[in-house]
Chain A
Amino acid sequence: MANLNEYKCPLCGGALEFHAGSQKLFCPFCDSSFDPGLFSETDASLSDGTSGSEGSETVVTGQDNGFKQDVHNTWADGETDGLYTYVCKSCGGEILGDSTLASTMCPYCGNPVVIMGAFKGDLKPDYVIPFKFDKKQAVAALEEHTKGKRFLPKVFRALNKINEIKGIYIPFWIFDTDTSGDYAYQGTKVEEWEDSRYRYKKTSYYKVERQGLVNFRKIPIGCSEKANQAIMESLEPFDMSQAVDFQTAYLAGYVADKFDINTDVSWERAKERVVNSSSNYFYKTVKGYNSVVQKHGTVTILEKSAKYALFPVWMLSTTYNGTQYTFAMNGQSGKMVGDLPMDKKAFARWLILLTLGIAAGLFLISVLFI
């Protein structure tokens, strides 16, 4: 049976939860607060292994030497069925979870529980960014998110009832990479003049070559199948300067998942973003031309490394007209994202009225002055 840990108040024995406002573990029963560092001994059973890895490859040739140290998600005996049950220490209730569950609340007594086995060995995160915004602020942020949207159905705002709101620590791979780029462009300069008989246009063609080093630090790539990747990328940036060394105490009161997408898969996404940004970087160095066309470009990955971190996200969901709408708030910066429904009638009304108004204005001006 997996080792469950519950953080109990040393004064009254109540279940502690991590409080975003004070950044401490808070007892809702006796209003006491405790620094998470006081519970660091609980994590002594976790090894200190970090999930760093290094390697090199060339984009063009496709030869991938891979990471020096691959991260393996090894399963203990009996943990291969995909569904696991845990027993709450407080009430004895059964907690059902999948293989990625790392922290949750007991559905019977509401006690926050941390599944220590989810963080053992190579599975231990290197960093965690604690929640800075609480549930009330997340709900307020959603209300703010729906304001000022002319095409949002008024009924949506009126009937907006949140089905579910969860504070989740989403697992991310954090990539550092050093790259070198080799790009060639064709630039053109255009000059025009005329004499008494002809108009002349001279186009001068240049070969433009650029090489250099482009280094990236702390690119976050979500590594949970359950987390929508587009939503996670929309929530960026996360300020890594506020990240702290991982302690399970920060998870108390929140749901947490461990990664189920390994570094190799996540690295492909990071590489795509790195190559795009490298291309952009070198393109911007070509100045003084009327037009610039890239002829060839190569990005070589010199070094790469990965760290494992948990980032705070508030997930909210609401249902409107039978469709579920998911919203997410960056638990550190407060940035709220989520697609909203559109009132098609309002859209059509605005389009028609604006068309008629602008057309009338243009007609009047054209009749008077043309």
Chain B
Amino acid sequence: MIKKIFKILTAILTAAALSCPVIASFAADSTFAETFVSKITPLRIIVCLLIGFFIAFIIVSTMRSKLYSVSYNDYAGGYLEYDSSGLTYSKDTFEYDRVEKTALPDRDDD
């Protein structure tokens, strides 16, 4: 799973690097710099940091979990004798339906 995550990260950074020609082409446009600067807002930065922290926390938590290998085994599925086990009664009975309807937004008629 760690390898998959690193592949995804690499793909993101590669896409960012590959977009450099795109950035270069944008840079030729005099309005690009103004547009770029105008998009650097505190909200955008905070949202990116929050999402980045969330993803990073999942990754490092997965890496940390490798340090811990002792835990109770609350199941005995590995000792189930499938040959002698099985259903003796199985019944699915319809009880009732419940229908909800939501009005669609009005469409403008021409």
A342 to B81, CA, bound (A): 40
Residues of chain B at interface, number, CB under 8 A: 63
Cross-interface CB contact of B52 among A151, A199, A340, A358, cutoff 8 Å: A358
- A199-B104 contact in complex given A207-B95, A285-B87, C-beta closer than 8 Å: yes
- Interface status of A212 (Cβ within 8 A of chain B): yes
Question: Given A273-B75, A354-B56, A357-B52, is A198 in contact with B88 using a C-beta cutoff of 8 Å?
Answer: no
Q: Kindly name the residue among B45, B73, B99 whose own CB sees the greatest number of chain A CB atoms within 10 A.
A: B73
Measured as residues with beta carbon below 8 angstroms from the partner, the interface class of chain A is: 35 or more
B59–chain A nearest beta-carbon distance, Å: 6
A197 within 8 A of B: yes
With A357-B52, A368-B22 in contact, do A280 and B75 touch (Cβ < 8 Å)? yes
Report the bound CA distance from A152 to B86 in whole Å: 46
Chain B residues positioned under 8 Å from A209 (CB to CB): 89-93
A198 near B16: Cβ-Cβ < 8 Å: no
Residue A237 interfacial (CB < 8 Å) = yes
Chain B residues near A210 (CB, 8 Å)? 87, 89-90
Q: Which of B72-87 contact A (CB under 8 A)?
A: 72-81, 84-87
Identify which of residues 311-331 in chain A touch chain B, using a CB-to-CB cut-off of 8 Å.
none
Q: Report 16 cross-chain contacts, Cβ distance below 8 Å, ordered by A residue.
A: A149-B67, A198-B103, A205-B97, A207-B93, A211-B87, A211-B88, A212-B88, A228-B70, A272-B74, A273-B76, A337-B69, A357-B9, A365-B15, A367-B36, A367-B39, A367-B40
Extra pairs beyond A201-B100, A281-B85, A364-B16 (13, CB < 8 Å): A205-B94, A205-B95, A229-B72, A234-B69, A273-B75, A336-B69, A338-B69, A351-B53, A355-B52, A357-B13, A359-B45, A359-B53, A368-B26
For A212-231 the 0/1 string (1 means CB < 8 A from B) is 11111111000000001111
> Which residues of chain B come closer than 8 Å to A340, judged between CB atoms?
67-68
Chain B residue with Cβ nearest A273: B76
A residues with a Cβ closer than 8 A to B are 145, 148-152, 178, 180, 187, 194, 196-219, 228-231, 233-234, 236-237, 270, 272-274, 276-277, 280-281, 285, 336-342, 347, 350-351, 354-368
User: From residue A82, how far is it (CB to closest CB) to chain B in Å?
Assistant: 29
Instruction: Known A205-B95, A277-B77, A362-B52; judge A339-B69 contact (CB<8 A).
Output: yes
The answer to whether A365 and B16 have CB atoms under 8 Å apart is yes
B38 nearest CB across to chain A (Å): 10
What's the minimum C-beta distance from A268 to chain B, rounded to whole angstroms? 13
Using a CB-CB cutoff of 8 Å, which residues 6-61 of chain B contact chain A? 9, 12-13, 15-16, 19, 22-23, 26, 36, 39-40, 44-45, 48-49, 51-53, 55-57, 59-60
Known: A233-B72, A356-B52, A361-B16. A213 touches B96 (CB 8 A): no
- Is A200 in contact with B101, judged by CB distance below 8 angstroms? yes
B22, A199: Cβ atoms under 8 Å?
no
Chain A residues in 8 Å Cβ range of B3: none
CB-based contact A197/B90 at 8 Å: no
A contact residues around B15 at 8 Å (CB): 365
Chain A residues lying within 8 Å of B36, measured Cβ to Cβ, are: 367
The answer on a CB contact under 8 Å between A342 and B99 is: no
Indicate if the CB atoms of A347 and B13 lie closer than 8 Å.
Answer: no
Contact: B88 with A213, CB < 8 Å? yes
Give A198's nearest chain B residue, CB to CB.
B101
Nearest 7 Cβ contacts at the A-B interface: A359-B52, A354-B56, A358-B52, A211-B89, A212-B87, A273-B76, A233-B73
Q: Contact between A213 and B84 (Cβ–Cβ < 8 Å)?
A: yes
